[in-house]
């Protein structure tokens, strides 16, 4: 096909050759020339369906791409998303590069070089179609500019999502050329479009992320500039707030009056729940001014507070709402902590339950401490004090020591051991093996007797302890941490 010939040729020459090729191709593949020469939207749409059979076609020209302004972001995002999928499936880098090149208003030669550089390695008609489609656009600088402008607009809204989608799978793009084109675009754009170019540069930089090392620096710089611009936007918000607070304290009344009027419009923006930084800035600023009565509160709180629809917006109620939210958040957490209080609603009842629970816990602690005290008096403390020390320091024969020191000390040892999940396997095995069977049996009996006396024993703890004591021999490998402290 003529297209193939064209794409096999050199990049710079392709520009001249392309239109003719395209014309030939257009006839064969339903590529309306008029569409190519016109603006971005309708011809693109037409092209999309008619002309590219593969996913790339849909990617390049999405059907929803009607209006230049509103759907730009949507289209671009779609394109980028599909770009990613396509690149995954086919490793079609040139298409993505075509996209990138198209977004920039660089001279067509760059675009074509971009498309051509990696055309050879990529099979499929779609690429050729895309490239051929791109050429006429590239040939028209005015079109390129408008296209770039639209893309910028769309990109600004969706570049974060789209860029990541598209670039992650972009694979090999000629980063140098794309980044160069973007640089040119940035230079040519001017201050008014600095944001868009920054976004685009970020887009381009991201596209280049997986590229050759030669272009990585360029892409990094672009990405950095993009990131900087975003960071600048974010920083402006808190800086504005910081500036406003000292200013507001000397001039409380006039700014309040002004802002009470502006607050409403700004808060209306909030109510639309736009995530844009500008609205965030405005709302934050208004909120900050409103709450200058409490300048000591951390700035962080202001970011999260939003005057919801239908709620009072004066400073006191806002501050109260912040406090109320804090308290309710903690109450929710307490609800999760206290057993059986999930369905309880209302602060008073919840607090009642919390107080009851804390009191019961404290009573349990008292009871257990009394029990421990009685147990302490009964047992031989000399041995018990000895045993842990021996464990820490000396290497004493394990079973021998047990027999000598008695069950109390061994119980202590056991208790301490049980708290070490890492060591339980070997220790349990040793202990169980060394203990005589005579000791084992009364162990169980004694234990069950003991348990009958004390009502407060948790069922789980009890069962697990019995299991541990009884089956120490047979199931020595079971870690005791599971048994005693099931978590």
Nearer to another protein, 38 or 379 (CB): 379
291 lies in the binding site for another protein (CB under 8 A): no
Segment contacting another protein by CB under 8 A, of 135-143, 182-190, 191-199, 438-446: 438-446
Instruction: Please say which residue, 343 or 395, places its beta carbon nearer to another protein.
Output: 395
When the beta carbons of 257 and 380 are compared against another protein, the nearer one is 380
Nearer to another protein, 477 or 485 (CB): 485
Return d(Cα 306, Cα 322) in angstroms, integer: 10
Residue 365 in contact with another protein, rule: CB under 8 A: yes
- Note whether 477 binds another protein by CB under 8 A: no
Do residues 112 and 11 make contact, with C-beta atoms less than 8 angstroms apart? yes
Tell which residue, 244, 229, 250, has the closest CA to residue 281: 244
Smallest separation (angstroms) from another protein to the CB of 67: 47
Q: Which of 32, 357, 475, 478 binds another protein (CB under 8 A)?
A: 357
Pairwise CA distance, residues 72 & 50, whole Å:
20
Residues 385 to 404 in contact with another protein, rule: CB under 8 A: 385, 388, 390-398
- Give, as ranges, the residues between 440 and 469 that touch another protein (CB under 8 A): 442-443, 445-447, 449-451, 454, 456-458, 461-462, 465, 469
C-beta of 240 vs 406, nearer to another protein: 406
In the region spanning residues 238 to 257, those forming contacts with another protein, defined by CB under 8 A, are: none
**CB 436 → another protein: shortest distance, Å?**
11
Residues numbered 403-432 forming contacts with another protein, rule: CB under 8 A:
406-412, 414-423, 426-427, 430
Which window, 7-15, 34-42, 271-279, 331-339, contacts another protein (CB under 8 A)? Answer: 331-339
Binders of another protein in range 366-385 (CB under 8 A): 366, 368-379, 381, 384-385
Residue 467 C-beta: closest distance to another protein, Å: 13
Q: Which of 184, 303, 354, 467 binds another protein (CB under 8 A)?
A: 354
Q: Which of 16, 312, 355, 433 binds another protein (CB under 8 A)?
A: 355
Give the shortest CB-452-to-another protein separation in angstroms: 11
**Minimum distance of another protein from residue 381's CB (angstroms):** 5
């Amino acid at each position: 096909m003529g297209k193939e010939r064209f794409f096999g040729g050199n990049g710079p020459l392709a520009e001249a050759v392309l239109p003719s090729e395209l014309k030939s191709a257009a006839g064969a593949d339903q590529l309306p020339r008029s569409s190519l020469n016109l603006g971005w939207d309708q011809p693109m749409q037409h092209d999309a369906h008619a002309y590219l059979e593969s996913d790339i076609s849909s990617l390049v020209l999405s059907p929803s791409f009607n209006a230049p302004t509103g759907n730009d972001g949507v289209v671009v995002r779609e394109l980028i998303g599909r770009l990613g999928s396509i690149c995954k499936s086919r490793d079609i880098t040139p298409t993505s590069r075509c996209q990138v090149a198209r977004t920039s208003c660089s001279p067509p030669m760059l675009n074509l070089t971009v498309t051509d550089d990696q055309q050879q390695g990529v099979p499929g008609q779609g690429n050729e179609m895309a490239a051929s489609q791109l050429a006429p656009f590239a040939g028209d600088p005015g079109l390129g500019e408008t296209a770039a402008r639209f893309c910028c607009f769309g990109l600004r809204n969706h570049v974060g999502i789209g860029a990541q989608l598209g670039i992650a799978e972009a694979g090999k793009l000629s980063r140098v050329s794309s980044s160069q084109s973007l640089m040119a675009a940035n230079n040519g754009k001017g201050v008014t479009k600095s944001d868009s170019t920054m976004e685009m540069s970020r887009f381009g930089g991201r596209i280049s992320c997986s590229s050759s090392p030669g272009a990585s620096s360029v892409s990094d710089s672009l990405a950095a500039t993009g990131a900087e611009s975003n960071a600048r936007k974010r920083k402006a918000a808190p800086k504005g707030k910081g500036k406003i607070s000292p200013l507001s304290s000397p001039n409380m009344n006039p700014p309040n009056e002004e802002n009470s009027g502006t607050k409403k419009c700004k808060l209306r923006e909030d109510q639309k729940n736009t995530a844009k930084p500008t609205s965030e800035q405005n709302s934050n600023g208004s909120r900050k001014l409103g709450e200058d009565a409490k300048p000591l509160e951390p700035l962080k709180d202001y970011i999260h507070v939003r005057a919801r629809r239908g709620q009072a917006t004066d400073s006191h109620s806002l501050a109260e709402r912040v406090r109320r939210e804090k308290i309710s958040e903690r109450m929710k957490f307490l609800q999760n902590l206290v057993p059986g209080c999930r369905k309880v609603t209302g602060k008073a009842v919840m607090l009642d339950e919390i107080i009851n629970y804390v009191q019961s816990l404290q009573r349990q602690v008292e009871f257990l401490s009394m029990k421990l005290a009685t147990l302490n008096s009964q047992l031989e403390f000399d041995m018990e004090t000895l045993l842990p020390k021996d464990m820490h320091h000396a290497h004493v024969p394990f079973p021998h020591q047990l027999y000598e020191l008695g069950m109390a000390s061994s119980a202590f040892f056991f208790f301490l051991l049980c708290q070490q999940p890492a060591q339980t396997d070997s220790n349990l095995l040793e202990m169980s093996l060394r203990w005589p069977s005579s000791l084992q049996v009364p162990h169980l009996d004694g234990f069950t007797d003991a348990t009958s006396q004390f009502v407060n024993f948790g069922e789980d703890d009890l069962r697990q302890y019995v299991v541990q004591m009884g089956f120490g021999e047979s199931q020595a490998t079971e870690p005791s941490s599971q048994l005693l402290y099931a978590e």
